Amino acid sequence: MIDHCCAEMTRQVDRRCQAHPDVSACPDALVRFEPKFRKYGLIVHDGGTASREIAFCPWCGARLPESQRDRWFDALEARGIDPWEDDVPPEFEDDRWLREGLTDPVPAGEDLPRSP
């Protein structure tokens, strides 16, 4: 469970529309949150899935956490996993990799299983 900066940000991030299961297609959806990266973005409603990363909450003005996207790729690379080619472990599909400290490099001599 991720605590967002304010009740309105939580409401926006948790918004679910029955008419538009894909948040990018819902004209009322404003914010996309990617838990695995801890990244917030304003949705670009142009028919695609783009969003524009934001550093501050539009409602309360709080500074938002820095995106962990680069660390995510680094952590996978340290394990010999190419996210474009290999299966990504389930703990890297959400924020568990951050909560469980999986950002540390693999200790020397210790091999982690590669995706088939």
40-82 tens-digit pLDDT: 999 999 989 999 999 999 999 999 999 999 999 999 999 999 9
DSSP strands (E only) in the chain: 31-34, 39-43, 51-53
97-106 tens-digit pLDDT: 988 887 655 4
Contact 115, 81 (CB under 8 A): yes
Query: What integer pLDDT is reported at residue 99 of this predicted model?
Result: 86
